[in-house]
Chain A
Amino acid sequence: MSIEEKQNFPTYHNSDSISYPVNEKEVSDFIKKAYKSNSSIELLGSGSKRKIGKPLQCSNILNLSKLSGIIKYFPEELYIKVKAGTPIKQIEDELKKNKQQLVFEPIDFGYLLNGKSDYGTAGGQIACNISGPRRFKVGSVRDHVLGFRGVNGKGDIIKSGGVVVKNVTGYDLSKLMCGSYGTLVALTEVTFKVLPEPEASKTLVIHNQKIETAIYFLDKALSSSHDISGATFLPKESKSLGCVMDIEKTFKLNDLKQEGSITAIRIEGSKNSIDQRMQNLISELKIINVSISILEVHQSEVFWNKIKNLEFFSFSKNSILRIVVPPSECVKLVYQLSNVFKYYLDWGGALMWMEAHELSEQMFESIRRKVVKLGGYVTMIKNSEYLPFVEDVFTINKDRFNISQNIKKSFDPKRILNPGKMYTGI
């Protein structure tokens, strides 16, 4: 580990405790040893999303980034099997050669958390299960993992799933891996479902709408048959003290000439098809006396990349929250919260990204109460200098906690893999 790397790891202990296994057996041996000696292990890929969840103080660090490489890629079978530490960038570059993609749109958290682009690894994407703007249409990371191999907390090598989409042979443990933040299994190999990339994309931008009308348009679009694959609202509100989010600064696009809030709807597909869909959409939305722009292919791609990769929040020193609610509740949510903070909405209103300046623990808990009441959940994605630590990064209730604790024990009876990363006691 280089000096720079060491500095980037706040819980760094000493280099003796960091292991870089190069194959599955080494991972298994390492965990077996830790199991015997009751010592805890922090699992790492590239570290791009390490700051999400509670900081760990483990005796060992198991860095899986050397378990890297594409094992099998069959474009006509629509799957790619990779070692868990393979960089997402490498996978996407390989898929691009065959005009295919990971359709869940992996998010680049590098900008937000470490100041530079880093999509992280295959294993990291699965561990966090956070998906991009297409979520409401195509599903999340968890809907695109066909199978895996890995090592549980006893050091046993286990596998589940396969390389085919339709499979009910045994429990679907791939789903359980997604969003488990490395607390169940050290992944060694994963198989993703891949799909053809759309030939083209276009984005309808409706300018200067209030939240109510914006959400009305998004809801209508998502309830249509036009196969919408992106639906976002970027409010234009007076600058919030201490917040960096700034729409105009982020979007210096030629096609975006108007000022004010942005309501954007993306359509993807073949060229003819998206032109027809766009026409139909505009007439179905009955947009009268409202100024609109159309972002053509290139600008549309740039636009959605910025939305996906949270570029608004680059260099922000504030708390960044991810809030998910039923789409119908988002206007209420905004009214209850936005007067204090900066935010934007994705997934047609079901997802709110929020930048909060000087957010106190009490304020965070009050936000959580409001969100839970609306049927949603909130995750602290990034801590601020003002609030460097919160006890409950994730939202959970007692019943689910008990079940989760049982599940954890069945994989990791001594609680040595990323203990406490998600919840104290898991």
Chain B
Amino acid sequence: MTNLSMPKIDRKLIAKKSEIVKDLKKIIKSENILYHEDETRPFETDGLSAYKQKPLIVAFPENTQEVSKILAYCNKHRIKVVPRGSGTGLSGGALPMEDSLLLCLGKFNKIINVDYKNRCVIAQSGVTNLAITHAVQSMGFYYAPDPSSQIACSIGGNVAENSGGVHSLKYGTTTNNLLGAEVVFMDGTISKLGGKTFDSEGYDLLGLITGSEGLLCVITEVTVKILKKPQTIKAALVGFPKIEDGGNCVSDIIANGIIPSGMEMMDKALIHATDNFVKAGYPRDAEAMLIIELDGTNKEVEELIEKVNMIAKKNNSSSIKISKNEKQRLKFWAGRKAAFPACGDMAPDYYCMDGTIPRGKLVQVLKEINRLSKKYNLPVANAFHAGDGNLHPLIMYDANEKNSLEKTEKFGAEILKYCVKVGGVLTGEHGVGVEKRELMCEMFNNNDIQQQIKIKKSLDASSLLNPGKVYPILRKCAEEGRVHVHRGKTKFPDIPQF
């Protein structure tokens, strides 16, 4: 970790480590507490491995009561708590602090209830996203949100980040597929939000906690909607000689009243990288490629493919390939889902960005990314959830080169600022975390941020739950009101200060 500023470290608390461990052993089994340096090292980072910090203590509660007791204890003794699911997050949302307790939900790994009558599943928060689909697929059901990390990421983490995936265009993100949750607030209060009913009365607390990045509560159990698999699903691979043509095709499809279940775009760099990686049969001569997935009855899918084909041709498509069977369809997706690891072949390190823009601005933003790539002399490969305008530019760099991470971060920040400039947002599904914290002021003014901080404080008065995340701390409006700058350097020094 280079110059990342975090809230002030409580040295006195660190000195009391053994006392805290002793107290915790009264709450949970001693084998569920890790506190030696070697034991805590595996937890020093999450999916954003550029930042590392070992926590003071790692705790693995086994049930909601234990979570409640740990939080109440930490609240009383002013101990910071960082919740963690599977640690696959890409914005540093589960980055520990030196004086924090890392609360791991790894033991919350059971599916509690599969309820076909109410078309929902109740699962503990540490269950992986894919395990939910596995639990119901024998009856032809599935859980719709499918982030690329679905094999590993936890459903609780999905709620905390409001994860999307490649099918959110038609089926929505986590927030649209969540019926209920059991959560624990910082003071230890256990609360059931929602349930098996549609909506609930009063304030939409379920909506508020979804995407709150572990700042408001710890999620211990979720109730999610399951859907019946569509009768027919087909995917089309469409190649374009120019990136503009691909971008226009995306807008045209939507303008024609078609909502595909997924519509992904990749640029040439990524087409090659992923095709080398999984041999998906991508059009290697194309400058841009769309994966368009359509589902419904067989007649409907045929009809839609016909329409999409015509729209693609009108937009100068150079090739179109329709999946002939389920195996081939999954192969088409395998490349896209391996976009991140495939980049490992292109450079020692990569940095994944996550802005969302109005989809009509795709081409404009892509041109700007290419311009910036030249400016910073860092190659970039682009994967977009084109249907909903969510961009994942992958910046290639070599962390061993001096200052390369700083340069990469600056590049990334410029991309995100540009996203906001064209009417988009900083993050579509990875969360703000520590990564985009200081950029929040690009989108929000003091009033907006203060209102959010007030909500945070109304549920966590001493700001102990996941501090240093989401809200800028290098500013006067800061939550902690304290500026900690390492060696005179601030992250993103050019951000506007109000």
Contacts and interface: CB of A to CB of B under 8 A. Distances in A.
Interface of A: 74-78, 99, 129, 131, 135-136, 139-140, 142-143, 152, 156-160, 162-176, 178-180, 184, 195-196, 219, 222-227, 269-270, 272-273, 276-277, 280, 324-328, 347, 350-351, 375-377, 379, 394-396, 399-400, 402-404, 406-411, 422-423
A216 B289 CA distance: 45
B117 interface: yes
Contacts, number: 249
B498 interface: no
Given A76-B254, A400-B202, A410-B457, A139 B303 contact: no
A399 B455 contact: no
A411 B168 CA distance: 31
Closest 4 CB pairs of A and B: A175-B207, A196-B257, A166-B428, A273-B300
B299 to A, nearest CB: 5
Given A179-B202, A276-B300, 7 more contacts: A164-B390, A166-B164, A166-B168, A170-B443, A176-B204, A180-B203, A396-B202
Q: For chain A, what secondary structure do more than half of its interface residues adopt (helix, strand, loop), or is it mixed?
A: mixed
B208 A172 contact: yes
A352 B440 CA distance: 43
A326 B173 CA distance: 22
Contacts of B208: 171-173, 175-176, 407
B210 A166 contact: no
Among B118, B161, B390, B450, the most chain A Cβ lie within 10 Å of the Cβ of B118
Interface in B209-223: 210-213, 216
Nearest to B445: A159
B303 A272 contact: yes
A160 B199 contact: no
Given A76-B255, A324-B197, A277 B297 contact: yes
Contact of B297 (A276, A325, A395, A406): A276
A222 B226 CA distance: 11
Contacts of A280: 231, 297
B294 to A, nearest CB: 11
Contacts of B210: 172, 175
Contacts of B168: 165-166
Given A165-B168, A350-B198, A394-B201, A195 B259 contact: yes
A76 B162 CA distance: 24
B438 interface: no
A40 B90 CA distance: 45
A127 B52 CA distance: 43
Given A139-B176, A225-B228, A167 B425 contact: yes
Contact of B452 (A173, A174, A402): A173
Contacts of A162: 356, 423-425, 443
B199 A224 contact: no
Interface in B440-460: 440, 443-444, 447-452, 454-455, 457-459
Contacts of A351: 198
Contacts of A173: 208, 451-452, 455
A247 to B, nearest CB: 24
Among A156, A162, A280, the most chain B Cβ lie within 10 Å of the Cβ of A162
Contacts of B426: 169
Nearest to B179: A326
9 contacts: A152-B451, A159-B448, A225-B230, A273-B299, A351-B198, A375-B197, A376-B197, A396-B201, A403-B459
Contact of A179 (B195, B203, B430): B203
A99 B257 contact: yes
A379 B201 contact: yes
A328 to B, nearest CB: 4
B105 to A, nearest CB: 19
Contacts of A167: 356, 425, 427-428
A169 B255 contact: no
B201 A395 contact: yes
A163 B357 CA distance: 9
A70 to B, nearest CB: 17
Nearest to B163: A168
A171 B257 CA distance: 31
Nearest to B447: A156
B440 A170 contact: yes
Contacts of A399: 189-191
Among B190, B213, B427, B458, the most chain A Cβ lie within 10 Å of the Cβ of B458
A225 B140 contact: yes
